[in-house]
Chains A and B, each alone.
Chain A
Amino acid sequence: MLMKLKNISKSFGANSVLNKININISKKQCYGIIGPNGAGKSTLFKIITGNLLQDEGNIYFKNNNIDKLSIEKRARLGISQSFQNNSLFNEMTVKENLMIACSQSLNIGWHFFKALDKRKNILDKTYKICEQIGLSQYYNHKSESLSYGLQRQLEVGLAIALHPKLLLLDEPTAGMSHLETKQIVSMIKKLSSSYTIIIVEHDMNVIYSVAKEIYVLDRGDLIFNGTPNQVKKSVLVNDRYTGIKK
């Protein structure tokens, strides 16, 4: 069992955003979380990564309760996220962005003196990740000069730099063209053989093509859990989510 969310609830004032959510992540595959806007998906991610504290319920990561851990401690345990709104280091090149990510693997004592860009092991790791996300030709380009689609790829690159145990992708195809979406999807498919991924998406086609198991949220409740086929056929999901009555 990799991660378990047990009875997670969260309210903002009188607004109940998450209501006793239970999720089990155990296999090395891609999980999807879908739901209409306001269903609580981003809030759920924030609670998993530690950006928000849940009102009720517990989170277990590898059988340990991580409720009290800070954001960086959870990241060090292996929970990594790519953000919906690109969160890059804008003044740095692609190489430097990835170097920063890879440098987190260094122990504190090694942080002083030897220049970061002279450390061979970090440089090797950086180049490998760059290849993995398909940005090799942009290695020395400034991240802010990249197109939106490429920036999204770098965003994912930062998240996988430290080989996380659990990779959270927050709407990775948001705002992308058809072609860019296809590229990201093929990248995610490749990644899902090496990482456990939870992906939050609006684009149903993307979810159906990458996720093996889907959780459906609606207005704070977990209304369905199953394979893509089961979700497609579910009357309940179709009713609540797409409004299509079969």
Chain B
Amino acid sequence: MSAVQYDKQLRSYLFLALCCSAILINIFGDYFTQFLLAEIIILSLFAMSLDFLAGRGGMISLGHAMFLGIGAYTTTILYIYLSIDPFLCSLITIIIGLILGYLIALIITKTHGIFFIMITLALGEMFHSWAFTNDSLGGSDGISGIARPDLLFMGLDLNEPLLFTYYLIVWLILSYLFLSAITDSPLGRNLDAIRQNSNRVLSLGGSVKFYKSASFGISSAIACLAGSLYAQLNGFVSPELSHWTVSGEGLIMIIVGGIGSLSGAILGAAVVHVLQHELSKLVDWWMLLMGGGFILIVLFMKDGLWGIILKFKNYIMEKIC
């Protein structure tokens, strides 16, 4: 499966640009803009987790929204029934995602790429159905009453949209740095190698199963984090968070951004979410447009927006030299 070319420099610069933009928008935006920005940041986390899995593992998961659900519901249960501070809840969900993702991956990474897609789709749907019908999880109504972390001892009230968005930006930066470091580490480079030619990695002595399972675990951990933060943003969780369309949107985001670019995923998340937000206000049949646009991008824009930025950068470099 193809991914964008490895370009650490461009990736870092793009992230820096996006980060600064986010901070500026947060400062100057109104309440609604800040909320939209917060959603975009959480979706960026989700998109990065998918991008990492696809670009560095060659695995496409069509059921990753289930980890959003797991993160969100776990946070809800831990907070409401055990009164654990939401910040700690987020940390716990990261660990749960890591372990659960690793265990699931041990079984399903044996399968070939397309099988993998089918199985993850099936798993995601199963989780969604289970959450939808399970009354102890609130059934189709979901559960409400999740608060945000208590930082009053620092003089910060995270109920203020401005501050909570900053809180999310911090998580985004930490996650990006983490995923970026892994991408450059031997694990990440080997994952890329596996994507290109997994048999060769095996015959060189690399444990493909471990690498793939580790990357799936890492990806699930970040997705669970996104789910946890989402529950805190909205104050409630519903099974719709794990609907297949959410996994689908995540996929659209990373294709638009350019698979494997990591910071491109953030850009993709922003573009797709804003588009979807605006389109759904204009027409009823926005899904048709999204689907159609998605098909066109898959066919004609192999490297997504990253590809365009890269071409632009090369053009500028040529002009300079």
B54 to chain A, nearest CB (A): 15
Using a Cβ cutoff of 8 Å, how many contacts connect chains A and B?
85
Which of A49, A72, A87, A106 contacts B186 (CB under 8 A)? Answer: A106
| Residue A206 interfacial (CB < 8 Å) | no
Question: A92-B196, A108-B210 given as contacts; is B185 within 8 A of A114 (CB)?
Answer: yes
Q: How far is the CA of A49 from the CA of B204 in the complex (A)?
A: 11
Interface size grouping (class) on chain B? 20 to 34
| Residues in B neighbouring A115, C-beta threshold 8 A | 181, 184-185
| Residues in A neighbouring B5, C-beta threshold 8 A | 91
B302 to chain A, nearest CB (A): 13
| Residue B158 interfacial (CB < 8 Å) | no
Q: How far is the CA of A83 from the CA of B203 in the complex (A)?
A: 10
| Residue A100 interfacial (CB < 8 Å) | yes
Interface positions of B from 5 to 64, Cβ below 8 Å from A = 5-6
- A113 and B185 contacting across the interface, CB-CB below 8 Å: yes
Question: A111-B187, A112-B185, A116-B185 given as contacts; is B204 within 8 A of A92 (CB)?
Answer: no
Q: How far is the CA of A95 from the CA of B223 in the complex (A)?
A: 34
| Residue B190 interfacial (CB < 8 Å) | yes
| Residue B199 interfacial (CB < 8 Å) | yes
| Residue B293 interfacial (CB < 8 Å) | no
Question: A115-B184, A117-B184 given as contacts; is B189 within 8 A of A100 (CB)?
Answer: yes
- A87 and B199 contacting across the interface, CB-CB below 8 Å: yes
Question: A75-B204, A75-B205 given as contacts; is B189 within 8 A of A99 (CB)?
Answer: yes
Interface positions of A from 135 to 185, Cβ below 8 Å from B = 158, 161-162
Q: How far is the CA of A114 from the CA of B188 in the complex (A)?
A: 11
Which of A75, A100, A113, A162 contacts B202 (CB under 8 A)? Answer: A75
| Residues in B neighbouring A161, C-beta threshold 8 A | 204
Question: A112-B185, A113-B181, A117-B184 given as contacts; is B203 within 8 A of A80 (CB)?
Answer: yes
- B200 and A158 contacting across the interface, CB-CB below 8 Å: yes
| Residue B291 interfacial (CB < 8 Å) | no
| Residues in A neighbouring B192, C-beta threshold 8 A | 91-92
Interface positions of B from 194 to 242, Cβ below 8 Å from A = 196-197, 199-208, 210
- A87 and B189 contacting across the interface, CB-CB below 8 Å: no
| Residue A65 interfacial (CB < 8 Å) | no
- A75 and B203 contacting across the interface, CB-CB below 8 Å: yes
> Of residues B184, B200, B202, B203, which shows the largest number of chain A Cβ atoms within 10 Å of its Cβ?
B203
Q: Indicate with 1 or 0, residue by residue over A72-88, a CB within 8 angstroms of chain B CB atoms.
A: 10011000110100011
Question: A99-B189, A113-B185 given as contacts; is B196 within 8 A of A104 (CB)?
Answer: no
Question: A72-B205, A72-B206, A72-B208 given as contacts; is B189 within 8 A of A116 (CB)?
Answer: yes
A102 to chain B, nearest CB (A): 9
| Residue B182 interfacial (CB < 8 Å) | yes
Q: How far is the CA of A117 from the CA of B185 in the complex (A)?
A: 8
Q: Indicate with 1 or 0, residue by residue over A113-133, a CB within 8 angstroms of chain B CB atoms.
A: 111111100000000000000
Give the size of the chain A interface in residues (CB under 8 angstroms). Answer: 35
Q: How far is the CA of A234 from the CA of B89 in the complex (A)?
A: 77
B52 to chain A, nearest CB (A): 14
| Residues in A neighbouring B189, C-beta threshold 8 A | 96, 99-100, 103, 116-117
> Of residues B200, B205, B208, B210, which shows the largest number of chain A Cβ atoms within 10 Å of its Cβ?
B205
A213 to chain B, nearest CB (A): 25
| Residue B123 interfacial (CB < 8 Å) | no
- A89 and B203 contacting across the interface, CB-CB below 8 Å: no
| Residue A23 interfacial (CB < 8 Å) | no
- A92 and B193 contacting across the interface, CB-CB below 8 Å: yes
Q: How far is the CA of A136 from the CA of B190 in the complex (A)?
A: 23
| Residue A71 interfacial (CB < 8 Å) | yes
Q: How far is the CA of A86 from the CA of B197 in the complex (A)?
A: 11
| Residue A12 interfacial (CB < 8 Å) | no
| Residues in A neighbouring B204, C-beta threshold 8 A | 75, 80, 100-101, 104, 158, 161-162
A239 to chain B, nearest CB (A): 36
Q: How far is the CA of A44 from the CA of B127 in the complex (A)?
A: 46
| Residues in A neighbouring B203, C-beta threshold 8 A | 49, 71-72, 75, 80-81, 83, 87
| Residues in A neighbouring B199, C-beta threshold 8 A | 87
Q: How far is the CA of A106 from the CA of B188 in the complex (A)?
A: 14
| Residues in A neighbouring B181, C-beta threshold 8 A | 112-113, 115
| Residues in B neighbouring A81, C-beta threshold 8 A | 203
Q: How far is the CA of A115 from the CA of B190 in the complex (A)?
A: 12
Not counting A72-B203, A92-B196, a sample of 16 additional A-B residue pairs whose C-beta atoms are within 8 angstroms of each other reads A49-B203, A75-B202, A75-B205, A80-B203, A80-B204, A81-B203, A88-B200, A91-B192, A100-B190, A104-B205, A104-B206, A111-B187, A111-B190, A112-B182, A113-B182, A162-B205
Report, nearest first, the 5 A-B pairs whose CB atoms are least far apart: A75-B205, A115-B184, A111-B187, A104-B205, A76-B205
Q: Can you list 11 A-B pairs with a CB-CB distance of less than 8 A?
A: A72-B203, A72-B206, A72-B207, A80-B204, A83-B200, A89-B197, A92-B6, A92-B192, A103-B190, A116-B184, A158-B200
Chain A residues engaging chain B, CB cutoff 8 angstroms: 49, 71-72, 75-76, 80-81, 83, 87-92, 96, 99-101, 103-104, 106, 108, 110-119, 158, 161-162
Chain B residues engaging chain A, CB cutoff 8 angstroms: 5-6, 181-182, 184-190, 192-193, 196-197, 199-208, 210
